[in-house]
Amino acid sequence: MSPTSPATPIPPLPTARIHLHEVAPRDGLQMESVFVPTDDKVAWIDQLSTLGYSKIEVTSFVSPAAIPALRDAEEVMRRIARVPGVVYTALVPNVRGGERAIDARVNEFNLVMSASATHNLANLRMTQAQSFGTLSQTTRLAQQAGLAVNVSLSCAFGCPMEGDVPAAAVADWVARFAGLGVQGVTLCDTTGMADPGQVLALCSAIAQQQPELALTAHFHDTRGLGGANVFAALQAGITRFDASLGGIGGCPYAPGASGNVATEDVVHLLQCLGLCCEMPLDDLAAAAQTLQALLGHGLPSAVGRAGPRWRHHPLPPDFQQTRERALAREAAG
Ligand code: COA
Ligand code: ZN
């Protein structure tokens, strides 16, 4: 089969706006060993708020013993400057987290449970049935408070301890949450186990089964497939993506976890494809510089290091001389 005649036609890409959700303040910082001081977090999130994201996951209302890097959740959520049109969400694992999130004035609960029974126990210390029970109560709490609910389903494309997670099990959890009246579900590839074929199949199936749900894709670039998986999700019609500035991130309770797809890399991909995403790469680079200074280490983003493909480098200093010599030799035969 020649590369120009694929076995199946490539589905068209979405023409609608692509929504980016910045998760570095939550998924990113939860994996860092340094505690970023609260004042610095707030200033950095305020910088992010101006860049054109649809949503920012600001923090986690989880146990501070489980995720010490986010122990200042209330203060951060209360102090950020909110830009109209941006949804400020936070991770919520239970009713207690929901109460804290309401007090701190979140716009949305991002509930969390795992499609893998093993990872759910390791991460949340509950069986899936216990998680679903507590998240049902937490959903009611949000609904009474008039807040939107999204559910992030971890390990939807595979579990680092169990291996494959059946697509039917993922679809079943999504259907159960849809039955609670949640607005959105995020399919999370927690440790970068997804491949593009699987992404196209699973995202297409769930989008077809749950046309009313806002579906988001959340990829980690652990095995270099992050960009390919974003492309496959676009082919499935997904228009909402989580991404993490600089490519930081990962779940401390998932063995082998590493960074999310980097926001700069995803924006660059979308702009190369001519899709509707007008986030300014230069401003993202500036926010990544702030983050790098806060963390005190380099960031894994490919575009962060190489720059976009349309950035031209200066000619080598001896270029003119080299060209003249080459032209003279060419003329001499
Ligand atoms: N916010 C703050 N503290 C909480 C809390 C919440 N939402 N839920 C429980 N706690 C506290 C309890 O008060 C208790 O504190 P204590 O030990 O000082 O008495 C402690 O956490 C344990 O509570 P318990 O109800 O027994 O929960 P648990 O030990 O079974 O843990 C979770 C359950 C979900 C709270 C905990 O596993 C957790 O926060 N996990 C977060 C995982 C995470 O964020 N992973 C990365 C993102 S995918
Ligand atoms: Zn993640």
- Please enumerate in sequence order all residues whose Cβ is within 8 A of that of 42, keeping only pairs 6 or more positions apart, or say none: 75, 76, 79, 80
Q: Residue 237 is inside which H or E element, if any?
A: none
For 138, what's the count of Cα atoms within 13 Å in the CB-facing half-sphere?
29
Q: What is the mean pLDDT of residues 180-194?
A: 98
Instruction: Respond yes or no: is residue 251 known to be catalytic.
Output: yes
Pocket test for ligand 1, best of 29, 32, 60, 63 (most atoms within 8 A of CB): 63
| Ligand 2 center from residue 27 Cα (angstroms) | 6
Taking residue 201's Cβ as centre, other Cβ atoms within 10 Å add up to 13
pLDDT in tens, 265-324: 999 999 999 998 889 999 999 999 999 999 999 999 999 999 999 999 999 999 999 999
| Ligand 1 center from residue 301 Cα (angstroms) | 31
| Ligand 2 center from residue 40 Cα (angstroms) | 22
Are 56 and 86 within 8 A, CB to CB?
Answer: yes
pLDDT(260) > 50: yes
Nearest CA residue ID for atom 32, ligand 1: 124
For 46, what's the count of Cα atoms within 13 Å in the CB-facing half-sphere?
11
Among 12, 90, 27, 58, CA closest to 218: 27
Given this model, what pLDDT does residue 1 score?
36
Among 267, 241, 234, CA closest to 184: 241
Sequence ranges of the domains in the chain: 19-331
Are 110 and 91 within 8 A, CB to CB?
Answer: yes
> Which residues have C-beta atoms less than 6 Å from ligand 1?
30, 60-63, 66-67, 91, 93-94, 96-97, 100, 112, 123-125, 154, 251, 253
Q: Which atom of ligand 1 is nearest to the CA of 27?
A: 47
pLDDT(71) > 70: yes
Q: How far apart are CA 242 and CA 230, in angstroms?
A: 10
Q: At which residue do the structure tokens 């109460």 appear?
A: 99
Nearest CA residue ID for atom 15, ligand 1: 63
Among 228, 163, 243, CA closest to 197: 228
Q: Residue 35 is inside which H or E element, if any?
A: none
Q: What is the mean pLDDT of residues 202-220?
A: 98
Given this model, what pLDDT does residue 12 score?
87
Among 123, 130, 128, 119, CA closest to 95: 130
Given this model, what pLDDT does residue 11 score?
79
Given this model, what pLDDT does residue 9 score?
65
pLDDT(4) > 80: no
Q: How far apart are CA 113 and CA 151, in angstroms?
A: 8
- Please enumerate in sequence order all residues whose Cβ is within 8 A of that of 236, keeping only pairs 6 or more positions apart, or say none: 11, 199, 200, 203, 204, 207
Q: How far apart are CA 36 and CA 17, in angstroms?
A: 33
Average per-residue pLDDT for the chain: 96
Given this model, what pLDDT does residue 276 score?
83
Given this model, what pLDDT does residue 7 score?
61
Q: Which atom of ligand 1 is nearest to the CA of 70?
A: 44
- Nearest bound ligand to the CA of residue 220: 2
Q: Residue 177 is which amino acid?
A: F
Please calculate the CA angle 270-203-17 and round it to the nearest 5 degrees.
35
Does the reported pTM lie above 0.85? yes
Among residues 251, 272, 276, 277, the one annotated as catalytic is: 251
pLDDT(27) > 80: yes
User: For 102, phi and psi rounded to 5 degrees?
Assistant: -65, -45
Q: How far apart are CA 20 and CA 217, in angstroms?
A: 10
Are 217 and 199 within 8 A, CB to CB?
Answer: yes
Q: How far apart are CA 113 and CA 132, in angstroms?
A: 8
Residue 260 structure tokens: 């999310």
Helices (H), the chain: 38-49, 73-79, 95-103, 117-124, 128-144, 167-180, 196-209, 226-235, 263-272, 281-295, 302-306, 319-332
Residue 213 structure tokens: 């749900």
Given this model, what pLDDT does residue 22 score?
98
Q: Which CATH architecture has domain 19-331?
A: Alpha-Beta Barrel (3.20)
